[in-house]
């Protein structure tokens, strides 16, 4: 019996999260006393704002320590409704909001709620690592549309139209995007919405978790187009905007049927998310975005820093991302080259491992995001660490021959 033979096909067919894997390898090297700079994780290097932390302490004192309603406390769902109205101009009712244990759970819930075995899910590449694996879990079929650096990693309406078949059930994307930082403009979203108008059976899963880390204009949601709004499921959360990755707080805003289906699924799996996190979330949304603004300014400065340093590395090609906190540079010119031990670098994962072992910087190969010609760097790190990481990267890459 092989060691995995008793595990389900479902789990055997699932890949490990590449971002978490690289982070783990980086931590293992660090535990050996090596100074590893991590550019592999997708979390702000800031602390949760004080008013939000205080709200959690108050929640404990007030004994918010019991099961919450499965879709979240009414006050939190109301705060989310207010946010969607005030910041995004979108009308929702509290019955359309389901709070979850992070945007990740919401994405998984929505896919399990909508996808039957064999249903097709269109995913533009590069995409966030977990999308395609969540589709695997639901026994759906991912259909990828390739977008590369030349199109700023964005798809065209023609590409979308060409990918649609009678089996297409869902389209899922993130804007601002992880891993590319690309942001769809209102005009670009309007073009995609026109395609969906022609296909009334397709749902649109709009992952807006990086909404507040956007360096151009204001955030635009594809849910603003009334002709398709009822088929758009917005996924969002508190992890990135409020530096609350550990609190596990996310949500969907969707039509009532989808919302109550998500409520039912959560009711049989995780129940409502952490009561204390929810009370803190109410304060995060009701007391504004001052902390977010400070974080955004730092990200903007670091974006320029990393952009300049990447452009200074021969063989690396990059664009200037308009949101999130990632670069997704093209690195295929290094494939086929050899490291100092004569090992050939065959793809992005091997290049990321080389950068970890030789340069002691943790990045993630683009293959896990659907395009092997790239690697992902997170610039959620201090200016000093970014400068040193990019210096090491340049030096390590120059040793390949």
Does 367 bind ligand PLP (CB under 6 A)? Our answer is no
Q: Which residue is nearest to ligand PLP (CB)?
A: 102
Q: Is 239 in the site for ligand PLP (CB under 6 A)?
A: yes
Helix (H, G, I), strand (E, B) or coil at 100: strand
Q: Interface with ligand PLP by CB under 6 A: which range of 50-58, 98-106, 265-273, 289-297? A: 98-106
Contact with ligand PLP (CB under 6 A) among 94, 185, 224, 245: 245
Exposure class string for 121-138: b at 16+ Cβ within 10 A, else e = bbbbbbbbbbbbbbbbbb
Cα gap 205→235, rounded to integer Å: 7
Q: By CB under 6 A, tell whether 273 contacts ligand PLP.
A: no
Q: Residue 181, interface with ligand PLP (CB under 6 A)? A: no
Q: Least distance in Å: CB of 265 to ligand PLP?
A: 16
Whether residue 176 is preceded by a cis peptide bond, meaning omega within 30 degrees of 0, is yes
- How many residues touch ligand PLP under the rule CB under 6 A: the total is 13
Nearer to ligand PLP, 44 or 140 (CB): 44
8 Å CB contact between 184 and 220 = yes
Closest listed residue to residue 281, CA positions, set 12, 101, 22, 61: 101
3-state helix, strand, coil in the chain (%, to 5): 45, 15, 40
Q: Does 103 bind ligand PLP (CB under 6 A)?
A: yes
Spatial contact of 131 and 143, defined as CB atoms under 8 Å apart: no
Separation of alpha carbons 300 and 323, rounded Å: 9
42 binds ligand PLP (CB under 6 A): yes
Q: Measured between alpha carbons, how far is residue 152 from residues 128, 247, 347 in Å?
A: 16, 33, 22
178 binds ligand PLP (CB under 6 A): yes
The answer to whether 207 contacts ligand PLP (rule: CB under 6 A) is yes
CB of 179 to ligand PLP, least distance (A): 8
Residue among 102, 272, 291, 370 that touches ligand PLP (CB under 6 A) = 102
CB 23 within 8 A of CB 362: yes
96 burial class (0-12, 13-18, 19+ CB within 10 angstroms)? buried
Among 109, 125, 174, 318, binds ligand PLP (CB under 6 A): 174
Identified binder of ligand PLP from the candidate list 209, 234, 259, 393, rule CB under 6 A:
209
Closest to ligand PLP by CB, 103 vs 316, is 103
The site for ligand PLP (CB under 6 A) is made up of 42, 102-104, 128, 174, 178, 207, 209, 237, 239, 245, 250
């Amino acid at each position: 019996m092989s060691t995995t033979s008793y595990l389900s096909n479902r789990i055997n067919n699932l890949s490990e999260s590449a971002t978490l894997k690289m982070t783990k390898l980086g931590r293992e090297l660090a535990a050996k006393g090596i100074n590893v700079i991590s550019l592999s994780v997708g979390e702000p290097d800031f602390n949760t704002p004080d008013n939000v932390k205080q709200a959690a302490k108050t929640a404990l004192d007030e004994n918010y320590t019991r099961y919450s309603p499965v879709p979240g406390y009414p006050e939190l769902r109301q705060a989310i409704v207010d946010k969607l109205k005030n910041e995004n101009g979108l009308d929702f009712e509290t019955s359309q909001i389901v709070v979850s244990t992070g945007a990740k759970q919401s994405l998984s819930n929505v896919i399990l709620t909508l996808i039957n075995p064999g249903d097709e899910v269109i995913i533009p590449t590069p995409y966030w690592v977990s999308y395609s694996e969540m589709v695997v879990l639901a026994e759906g079929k991912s259909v990828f549309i390739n977008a590369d650096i030349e199109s700023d990693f964005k798809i065209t309406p023609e590409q979308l139209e060409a990918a649609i078949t009678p089996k297409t059930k869902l389209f899922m994307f993130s804007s601002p995007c992880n891993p590319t930082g690309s942001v769809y403009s209102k005009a670009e979203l309007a073009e995609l919405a026109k395609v969906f108008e022609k296909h009334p059976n397709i749902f649109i899963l709009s992952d807006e978790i990086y909404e507040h880390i956007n360096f151009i204009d204001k955030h635009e949601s594809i849910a603003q187009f009334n002709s398709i709004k009822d088929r758009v499921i917005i996924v969002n959360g508190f992890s990135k905007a409020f530096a609350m990755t550990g609190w596990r707080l996310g949500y969907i805003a969707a039509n009532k049927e989808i919302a109550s289906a998500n409520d039912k699924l959560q009711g049989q799996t995780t129940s409502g998310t952490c009561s204390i996190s929810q009370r803190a979330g109410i304060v995060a949304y009701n007391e504004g975005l001052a902390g977010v603004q400070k974080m955004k300014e730092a990200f903007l400065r670091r974006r320029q820093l990393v952009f300049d340093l990447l452009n200074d590395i021969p063989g690396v090609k990059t664009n200037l991302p308009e949101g999130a906190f990632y670069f997704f540079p093209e690195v295929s010119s290094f494939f086929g080259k050899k490291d100092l031990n004569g090992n050939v670098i065959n793809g992005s994962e091997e290049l990321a491992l080389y950068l970890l072992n030789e340069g002691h910087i943790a990045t993630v190969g683009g293959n896990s995001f659907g395009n092997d010609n790239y690697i992902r760097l997170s610039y959620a790190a201090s200016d000093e660490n970014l400068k040193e990481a990019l210096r090491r990267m340049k030096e390590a890459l120059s040793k390949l021959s």
